[in-house]
Chain A
Amino acid sequence: MMTVIGIILTLILSVLFPGIIAITKAKVSGRKPPFILQPLFDILRLFRKTTIYSTTTSFIFQLAPLVYFASVVIALLFIPFFGDTGVFSFEGDFVFFAYLLAFGKFFMIIGAMDTGSSFEGMGANREAFYSLLVEPAYFLLMGSLALLSNYISFAGLFSALHFNTDLAYLVIPVSVYVFLFITMIENSRMPVDDPKTHLELTMVHEVMVLDNSAFDLALIHIAGWLKFVIYGTLIANFLINGQESTLIKSLEFVGINILFAVLIGVVESFRARNKLAKNPQWIIMLSALAIIVFITTLIITSKLILN
């Protein structure tokens, strides 16, 4: 039941997500905010346009946005919804989930390389590098949860987490923090990348999709929105106790995601982007936090005995 409601809510939220960020950013800087569905209108406009392919590209370039989009949609079906499993759930699904997203990203990267443009090469190179750096943080964190709960599927991990309240106080805040910034990196937002810039030389994600147009570009944008809500839902899983009624869980879920979008808007308004060379250092910091959680878990579960 929760899974169905969850997926419907996820789809609705993903459409509202970029609008909420835009409204937050406009409000805090004293500008007139756009209509919440403006990003959706932009997407509809893209759908009406004709896709243009550079003559130097091959079928890879045309395939990449589809594969990317599909990988994100399938990943969405793995997300557990607060006590309920996702549409697909099996042991080790969180590993599959991570590499499904990586698979989509891999296609975007080779699609970008396919154009032969020096800009796209630069963007692909940066995006691949950051994804590579963020991976340890994700796996260390999920590994810790697996150790803690003795489950190796998303649904198991999260439900066990909430039965054990003492440990939850320790693990949840750090996990939420790390996931928050994994989201920012995976979606190429501040402080790693500036989605608003028009400057090709400083972009990460935007410059990688510079040659995509119309339908393909729309798919890439929608996949980006979905990824936001996927991570937002994972974060919500840390916070929402599966024992509550469906209505309360749904409200909490929507509330957390809106709060998440507002938070992103606020972060992006009041600070400057990282210097590009500082990004790796900053991303590795997340892995360092995850290592702390991991070692703490080892000690708690008596797998690591300190004398």
Chain B
Amino acid sequence: MTSSETTYKIRNNQSVPLDRIPTYDYSEFRVLMIDLLKNGENHCVNYFAYQCNNRLQFIACVASDSKAIIHLLAHEMDLSATVALQSLTADIPALHLFEREIHENFGIAFTAHPWLKPVRFAHNRKNKTAINDYPFYSIKSEELHEVGVGPIHAGIIEPGHFRFICNGENVLHLEIQLGWQHRGIEELFVQKKKILERSTLAENIAGDTCIGHSTAFVNLWEGLCNYVPDESLEFARTIASELERIAIHTGDLSAICADIAYQLGNAVFGRLRTPIVNFFQEWGGNRLAKGLIRAGKINYPFTPELATRLLEILKVYEIDFDEISAKLFNLPSALNRMENIGEISPKEAYIIGTVGMVARTSGLNRDIRSSHPYNLYQKMDHQPIIKQTGDVHARAELRVDEIKQSIAYLRQLLNKVPASKQPEDHQFVSPANSFAISLTEGWRGEICHCAITDDKGELLAYKIKDPSHHNWMALAQVVRKNEISDFPICNKSFNLSYCGHDL
């Protein structure tokens, strides 16, 4: 019996009746999961539990990086049962946060979990006291000292606590305590019944990935309700997704320059981000593209005039962008700050289960646009850009290359602007007892949304997974053996989301 026959296989943005997902005993499930994930081409995109009629249902979604299929498998247990589950983390470390989350939400005990720590401020969870006394890792030594940073920071960023154990200027260990931004957004998805409310929620999962998350939500909802979006909708979503990538990557490059104190780069990249976000304003009335992506319609159709305008903006953008990128990557003092700093090897990146930019800079070919294409990526032959060195330099260079690639895609797409219909509300009817999954590649990496409906077709559970979920652990690891003064530049090169993790 191989794992390929024992799981239900689903494609991106499809839905499946819940009873088609094979349910196993935990011991069998565990063996199957290890079997699936020991295969280097698979990684777990979501593993969660939800409550249904006094039973806990667990669903794992394992995506293949080469074939466009997602394996689904499940196990269940009685809510009142006090059995402890044998943790998968020891075998598959990438699952550590999924298990920690299940442990925190439902009080399920996992035996032999090496890092069973609180995930969030658990005000709506089973264990409400966990975060109050966070069990930080510590080393008893006269020579070492601890540096605690945050949760309030000097810059205008989100809250998160970083606890360093240092030997002089060198970091031995970093522990990142998150959870300060927990809003209970998954619960809100279930509570809020209107599609407009849910779209707005999706836009605010992580403010910097507005398009990424709202596209994941609308694709999921349309897939669940068997609505086939027309080309103009897919066109707008693809354009918006690539524009968001350009805007945020440019802003990140500016911030990286600020952290290495390269003022010219900071000023020029900072200025270049503005015309891109201003184009969102012209298009949909909001610089962060809020209100742009809606299920079954688009309130701000993309017109040929906007296409002409965007091409002009990109032309002007590209000249300055090429010049300043060439300067940055040929400046010895800047290269000195970026090369061999915050390195993560392909092996580590794989074990941690990194996704998105972090994976691609460490030689892992993980890009949903090519492996599980959605919207117009299905018609484009997207080739992910892969870097091997896994250091700050690679992550900065990847951003430059991805911006260039996005500009090329935009030019190709803007050749032919499909005609849009008048926006009108579609009455979505979600099927009963179904499961749907949607994967999108936001600028940061893979975003996964899952929805489960009950026997009336109402939403029973909604699960969100931001790429930051996987990548925070990578950040904690890369800082080791680096100087503490290089932490900010490592952090900036990852640019992970706090609220995307905290939900």
Chain B contacts of A63 at CB under 8 A?
none
Pick the residue among A121, A201, A268, A276 that contacts B263 (CB under 8 A). A268
Quick check: is A198 within 8 A (CB to CB) of the other chain?
Answer: yes
| 1/0 contact string of A179-196 vs chain B (CB within 8 Å) | 000000000001100101
Chain A contacts of B259 at CB under 8 A?
197, 199, 202
Are A29 and B267 in contact (CB-based, < 8 A)? yes
Question: Which residues in window 250-278 of B have CB below 8 A to A?
Answer: 257-264, 266-268, 271
Chain B contacts of A196 at CB under 8 A?
261, 263
Pick the residue among B146, B337, B483 that contacts A273 (CB under 8 A). B337
Considering the chains assembled together, what is the distance between the CA atoms of A135 and B458 in angstroms? 74
Q: Which residue of B lies closest to A121 (CB)?
A: B145
Quick check: is B488 within 8 A (CB to CB) of the other chain?
Answer: yes
Q: With A196-B261, A270-B264 given, is the CB distance from A202 to B336 under 8 Å?
A: no
Pick the residue among B262, B267, B271, B488 that contacts A199 (CB under 8 A). B488
Chain A contacts of B293 at CB under 8 A?
none
Q: With A29-B264, A198-B154 given, is the CB distance from A274 to B485 under 8 Å?
A: no
Are A201 and B485 in contact (CB-based, < 8 A)? yes
Considering the chains assembled together, what is the distance between the CA atoms of A118 and B149 in angstroms? 10
Question: Which residues in window 109-151 of B have CB below 8 A to A?
Answer: 145-149
Quick check: is A48 within 8 A (CB to CB) of the other chain?
Answer: no
Are A29 and B333 in contact (CB-based, < 8 A)? no
How far does the Cβ of A82 sit from chain B's closest Cβ, in whole Å? 34
Are B262 and A201 in contact (CB-based, < 8 A)? no
Are A201 and B337 in contact (CB-based, < 8 A)? no
The main secondary structure of chain B at its interface with chain A is helix
Q: With A199-B155, A276-B169, A278-B336 given, is the CB distance from A29 to B331 under 8 Å?
A: no
A-B contact count (CB 8 A): 83
Are B262 and A271 in contact (CB-based, < 8 A)? yes
Q: Which residue of A lies closest to B265 (CB)?
A: A272
Quick check: is B225 within 8 A (CB to CB) of the other chain?
Answer: no
Quick check: is A131 within 8 A (CB to CB) of the other chain?
Answer: no
Quick check: is B385 within 8 A (CB to CB) of the other chain?
Answer: no
Quick check: is B486 within 8 A (CB to CB) of the other chain?
Answer: yes
Chain B contacts of A194 at CB under 8 A?
261
Are A118 and B145 in contact (CB-based, < 8 A)? yes
Quick check: is B72 within 8 A (CB to CB) of the other chain?
Answer: no
Chain A positions near chain B (C-beta within 8 angstroms): 25, 28-31, 118-119, 121-122, 190-191, 194, 196-202, 268-278
Can you list 16 pairs linking A and B with CB atoms under 8 Å apart? A25-B263, A118-B147, A196-B263, A199-B154, A199-B488, A201-B147, A201-B487, A272-B257, A272-B262, A273-B337, A274-B333, A274-B336, A275-B336, A275-B486, A277-B483, A278-B336
7 closest A-B pairs by CB: A29-B267, A194-B261, A273-B261, A272-B260, A272-B333, A199-B488, A276-B485
